[in-house]
Amino acid sequence: MNNTPRDGGIEAVFSQLREISRRSNARSRIIDHPLTFVEHSLLRFIATTEGARATDIATAFSLNRSTVSRQINTLIRLELVQYQDSENSAESPTHGPSGRGKILALTERGHSQLASSTAAHQNVVQERLTGWTDAEITSFAAALARYNAAE
Amino acid sequence: MNNTPRDGGIEAVFSQLREISRRSNARSRIIDHPLTFVEHSLLRFIATTEGARATDIATAFSLNRSTVSRQINTLIRLELVQYQDSENSAESPTHGPSGRGKILALTERGHSQLASSTAAHQNVVQERLTGWTDAEITSFAAALARYNAAE
DNA sequence: GCCTAATGTTGCATTATGCAACATTGAGTG
DNA sequence: CACTCAATGTTGCATAATGCAACATTAGGC
């Protein structure tokens, strides 16, 4: 590493991603309104993942299923999340039969809180992007998406 | 939000950064060789921060000083880190007088392990960047750096 | 030299997590 | 349909990580 300009670029990308992680994790210890980092992450996953189940969350976040079970029960207690009724999922026009596992869904309050939390976080991103042109932002988003799309 | 193309771009950036966080945190629960995520993060901070002290780490990572104190003692026990002697820091050509707080430094073993861990992580980044041109990588790194440079 | 603030440590309680065992449920097969 | 097995989710328990508070030590300023 560090032998070619390409290596230098890779090193710089790694370094910057590390900085993004550091800042994100530092922020996660501070922010708890309207949602904690974990709450937000889980709600977001459920909102964006068709037929999300506890085991999907455990896989996506490399967490033990027991941890996820408890986290979900916390969200249920907070009335942010509910299990879909099997009748609902069978009749839902956009959901197939429920299959294995209990499907999670956001409550109305869950949607609302997630939207509120997302807006707050996006404001921070917006401020960091002050001075960027629209094209630069679009290009940056595309590069990030391309990077994330890789397996 | 979501009213203009700029808003859409900001939302996309946020979404992608969120994905980077999720993946990073998921990996952090799995990887522990040669260093855990925390070990790597702390070593990296000490290696890249002139005159790094425990309180600097606590601030940078939004951790309580007691947590950092214990983390550092773990690193010391693992012979990855040591406190600089006050004589060393006074005589060091690149360090000013030590001032408040104990300055941290990597041991030889710490440097070696950090390099090894960094190489492993950068390999992962390299694979994710497969198919990118050198210029694309450089541009991506620059955009990330620009994003991170904002306050 | 004295005082105060900054820094780092330690005890204790709390929180989050993983492992293991288990119960429940869904899928597949005959 | 019955049976078997795997997948899924829950619960008990132990462990790890963290924050708060109190305190000791050290450095800086007057």
Convert B6-40 to b/e letters by CB count within 10 Å (16 or more is b). Answer: bebbbbbbbbbbbbbbbbbbeebeebeebbebbbb
Give me the residue from B10, B11, B17 closest to A20, CB to CB. Answer: B17
Q: What is the ipTM of this complex?
A: 0.89
Asked if B81 and B72 touch (Cβ cutoff 8 Å), the reply is yes
**Per-domain residue ranges of chain B:** 1-30, 34-149
Extended strands (E) in chain B: 81-83, 104-106
Residue whose Cα is closest to the C1' of D11: A66
DSSP string, A67-119: HHHHHHHHHHHTTSEEEPPHHHHHH-TT-----SSPPEEE-HHHHHHHHHHHH
Nearest nucleotide over every DNA/RNA strand to the B73 CA, judged by C1': C9
Nearest nucleotide over every DNA/RNA strand to the A99 CA, judged by C1': C26
Q: Does A12 touch chain B (CB under 8 A)?
A: yes
CATH 1.10.10.10 fits B34-149, yes or no: yes
Nearest CA-CA partner of A114 in A55, A37, A61: A37
For residue B86, the model assigns a pLDDT of 52
For residue B2, the model assigns a pLDDT of 60
CATH 1.10.1500.10 fits A35-149, yes or no: no
Residues of B with CB below 8 A from A44's CB? 18
Residue whose Cα is closest to the C1' of C18: A64
Alpha carbon distance A112, A90 (integer Å):
25
CB contact under 8 A, B128 and A147: yes
Alpha carbon distance B147, A59 (integer Å):
30
Return per-residue pLDDT of chain B as tens, 151 residues.
567 889 999 999 999 999 999 999 999 999 999 999 999 999 999 999 999 999 999 999 999 999 999 999 999 999 999 998 754 444 343 344 457 888 999 999 999 999 999 999 999 999 999 999 999 999 999 999 999 999 7
Alpha carbon distance A78, A122 (integer Å):
24
The ranges of chain A with pLDDT < 50 are 87-97
Residues in chain A: 151
Residue A65, CB, strand D, below 7 Å: yes
Q: Given the DSSP bridges, would you call strands A81-83 and A104-106 parallel, antiparallel or unpaired? A: antiparallel
CB contact under 8 A, A125 and B10: yes
Q: Does A137 touch chain B (CB under 8 A)?
A: yes
What is the residue whose two structure tokens read 């992962």? B124
Q: Any long-range contacts for A86-95 (C-beta under 8 Å, 24+ apart)?
A: A89/A51, A94/A50, A95/A50, A95/A51
Q: Does B141 touch chain A (CB under 8 A)?
A: yes
For residue B85, the model assigns a pLDDT of 72
Residue B64, CB, strand D, below 7 Å: yes
For residue A86, the model assigns a pLDDT of 53
Q: Given the DSSP bridges, would you call strands A81-83 and B81-83 parallel, antiparallel or unpaired? A: unpaired
Give me the residue from A16, A129, A146 closest to B144, CB to CB. Answer: A16
- Shortest Cα–Cα distance, A87 to chain B (Å): 32
Give me the residue from B16, B44, B138 closest to A141, CB to CB. Answer: B16
Residue B89, CB, strand D, below 7 Å: no
Q: Does A149 touch chain B (CB under 8 A)?
A: no
Residues of A with CB below 8 A from B144's CB? 12-13, 16-17, 20
Protein-covered nucleotides on strand C (Cβ within 7 A): 6-11, 16-21, 25-27
